[in-house]
Chains A and B, each alone.
Chain A
Amino acid sequence: MKIILNNRTEVFDKNNMSISEIMEIKNFSYQKIIVKLNNIIIEKEDFKNTIVKEGDNLVILHLLAGG
């Protein structure tokens, strides 16, 4: 499927993936993140059961680390 992830077009092999699956593929391991799917905030406990579909706009905002 093709989605917008952090303002970039991303293509994944599967359709209808959970946010957790996408994060695993992208190796997004940082804990301090804000996730919005189609501009709606998704809480951490819902990452596993929230499904991202073709054409969705997913933002996984990493807050500052380091420095």
Chain B
Amino acid sequence: MSIKGINLQDYQIKKWDYTWHPIEKGYNNRTLYINVGSKEVKEKPVSQQMKEKFIGGKGFGLRLLWDATKPTTKWNDPENEIIISPGPIGGITQYSGAGKSLVVSLSPQTDSVMDSNVGGFFGPFMKFAGFDALEIQGKAEKDIIIYIDGTNHTVELYEDPGFSKDSHLMGEELTEYFAEDEKDAKNIGIVSSGAAAEHSLIGMLNFTFWDNKRKMIRLKQAGRGGIGTVFRNKNIKAIVAKISGVQGNLNNVADMKKITEPGREYAGEMRDLDDKQNQMKKKGTANIVNVMNDYDLLPTHNFKYGSHKDATKIHSDFLRDKWFTLGINDGCWIGCAMQCAKGVDGFELRTGPYKGTKVIVDGPEYETAAGLGSNMGIFDYRDIIEANFYCDTYGICTITWGTIMAFIMECYENEIINKEITGGLELNFGNADAAFEVMHQCARGEGFGKIAGLGVRKMKELFAEKGWGDPQFLQDIGMENKGLEYSQYVSKESLAQQGGYAMTNKGPQHDEAWLIFMDMVNNQIPTFENKAEALHWFPMFRTWFGLQGLCKIVWNDVTPSDNKLEDEPHKIPKHVRNYLSVYEGVTGTPLTEEGLIRQSERVYNFQRIFNIRRGFGLRKHDAQPYRAAGPVTVEEYESRAERYDEQLKELFGIDPNTKSVEEKMAMLREYREAQYERLLDAVYERRGWNKNGVPTIEHLKEIEMDLPELIEIITPLQ
């Protein structure tokens, strides 16, 4: 739409003034509450206990959501909230990757607690405007826009005068409206979703950042778990934060030197080593597409296989050499040396409502390339990039969509669903055009696209209810756990990674633990005790990023040249020490590695008990679909027959030639399922949980998280 002639003051439904004060050592010490139904706007103080126990980011989100909801609250009840919080380190510009926010809500997919991390400008700008978190409750009667004006210190709510729905347009329109001129565009951060979020359960949120070189907005995504669906269900069209500019020390940190010194060293590592290591500046996270294929880890045809002969066509070199614009500032937050938010410029769309338009596409990142590519049997970056664009602007998660479509394609090829059900679409693996049509239908709220938008778990239930396919087979191949779709790694040959996926608090996302190399390739963690230790340390360490406003990629995607001399090089100890220094630099409080892990443990256990409070969070909810652990089909077994036969020989002393494939599959399954149960036992013990996966009271006392409301929940389950 044209914004000419629009004056949002004509649409104002609420204005609330506040007194701004400077941030103190990373904290504003207050949060912002907005009820979009009652139009109540207020600030809430942040207590010392909240800072000590919950730190910020996801911790603040979980605390606020717990207090705002009942165990029976549903995702689409007005009392459900969306909370956005960056954390105390969030917004610094002297150490890379410090612009992240965590978004927390009750998920339409899992019916439990969801958290999703995202870059972009909104989180830091909201913090600079005066608030450690934004807590949105209620449901507006009509579409609204929320404006946090950090320049005049007001919060305003407007009825939507008709801004576009899809994020690539709405982001530009709102930036143009709120920026006084082009120079001011860098001071605007926007949260929005898109058309598909209105008709599906898998909606995501886009967070803009201003690309000063390209003079346009870019998009980063809080993708997982359907929070964009909650956003649109609350009739929120967009949230805008504006500030008067980013300066060197808006966080008013305690000791800047403790941040700048490691920050400079880190930037030097990126300058000197990135080209010889992952080439993050040239390929972004997609640098591992070909690596995953080489190690048999690239999900192909709904996670059946880990590699494919056509995967050479989506080698990451093509992104670097043909698609990505190089030599341009691609950081999603100011001061980040990693520069991995790659983009494809001038991409001409060939399908959908924007057919023929030339656009910038943010990505593809690794997960997107694997999800919208190999996992759907599509090996053409042109198709992957087109799907990437539409997922973003329609407001749906690329990871989720890839796993959904891969499941649908396998169901189609197994005649569980057919053309009658799909409305004539031939949804074989590799049929990109048919897959595009499903996505466009989802955005229009039509046809089979609406069914796809339910997600894998609800599709499994629907198909079983309709008598389409064998429910056990659907369960085995439907790659979800807790209702959330798997992200894009094949975990079959790594028991630790199976735990890294299915034991997560929110569902199988790789942000807790990525242990495949340590386990499968390096054989560093051969015993259950080793695996349990890794499944304690890594999820806790990585949880910490989400408490602080930090990006986890910065930790591990470049490695110092002397890392090989460290005792535990896989932890990249120098970068861990950097984080301890940065934390102390911001807050003024010294922190040890043990203290860091303890901060995370408190929040991690709180989230586990939050799940229990909502009827989840027990051992049975950590169960995985069998495809995550082993071969479901004969062709899957045969694709790795040598490896599986060898394992059976070693484990059971049998001659594989004397058994049928089906017999061998059954033996392997029994063994692998038993191994996973042993893993659960070991990890629960290491985490201080009982056999049912419930934190023990003693453990909560030990980590000083024995809050009465938690003890009340877990006491009957001890």
A: residues with CB less than 8 A from B are 6-8, 27-32, 34, 41, 59-67
With A61-B569, A65-B288, A66-B489 as contacts: A30 and B510 at CB distance below 8 Å? no
For the complex, what is the distance from the CA of A30 to the CA of B569, rounded to whole Å?
A: 16
| A30 to B517 alpha-carbon distance, docked (Å) | 10
In the bound complex, residues from chain A placing their C-beta under 8 Å from that of B513 are: 67
Other-chain contact of A6, B295, B523, B569 (Cβ < 8 Å): B523
- Cβ contact within 8 Å between A31 and B569: no
Cα(A62)–Cα(B559), bound, Å? 12
- Residue contact B523 to A8, C-beta cutoff 8 Å: yes
A61 and B564 alpha carbons, distance in the complex (Å) = 10
Minimum Cβ distance to chain B for residue A58 (Å): 12
Q: Are A63 and B294 in contact (CB under 8 A)?
A: no
A27 to B295, CA, bound (A): 7
Q: Is the beta-carbon distance between B572 and A63 smaller than 8 angstroms?
A: yes
Closest A residue to B566 by beta carbon equals: A34
A62 adjacent to B294 (CB under 8 Å): no
| With contact pairs A31-B276, A63-B572 given, residues A7 and B526 touching in the complex (Cβ less than 8 Å) | yes
Given contacts A31-B278, A34-B563, contact A63 B526 (CB under 8 A): no
Q: A6-B523, A7-B523, A32-B277 are in contact. Are A63 and B290 (CB under 8 A)?
A: no
Q: What is the minimal beta-carbon distance from B231 to any residue of chain A, in angstroms?
A: 26
Q: Mark B198-235, 1 if CB is under 8 A from A, else 0.
A: 00000000000000000000000000000000000000
Interface residues as binary, B556-569 with A (CB distance below 8 Å gives 1, 0 otherwise): 11010001110001
The 8 Å CB contact of B522, one of A6, A27, A31, is A6
Q: Is the interface of B mostly helix, strand, loop or mixed?
A: helix
**Can you show 25 pairs from A to B with CB atoms below 8 A apart?**
A28-B294, A29-B290, A29-B295, A30-B291, A31-B278, A32-B277, A34-B563, A34-B564, A34-B569, A60-B522, A61-B522, A63-B563, A63-B570, A63-B572, A64-B514, A64-B517, A64-B518, A64-B570, A64-B572, A65-B288, A66-B285, A66-B516, A67-B510, A67-B511, A67-B513
* B295 and A30 contact, CB distance less than 8 A: yes
| Closest chain B residue, CB of each to CB of A35 | B564
Report the separation of the CA atoms of residues A59 and B569 in the bound assembly, to the nearest whole angstrom.
13
- The distance in angstroms between the C-alpha atoms of A29 and B517, with both chains bound, is 13
Contact of B394 with A by CB under 8 A: no
**Across the interface, do B556 and A62 meet the contact criterion of CB distance under 8 Å?**
no
Tell me if B703 counts as interface (CB < 8 A to partner A): no
* Cβ–Cβ < 8 Å partners of B291 in chain A: 29-30, 65
Is B366 an interface residue, CB under 8 A from the partner? yes
Chain A contacts of B518 at CB under 8 A?
62, 64
A41 to B295, CA, bound (A): 23
Task: List, in ascending order, chain A residues with CB within 8 A of B563's CB.
Answer: 34, 63
Q: In this assembly, does B531 line the interface, its C-beta being within 8 Å of a C-beta of chain A?
A: no
Are A67 and B556 closer than 8 Å at their CB atoms?
yes
Question: Assuming A8-B523, A65-B288, A66-B516, is B278 touching A41 (CB within 8 A)?
Answer: no
Cross-chain contact B514 with A67 (CB below 8 angstroms) = yes
**A31 — nearest CB in chain B belongs to which residue?**
B277
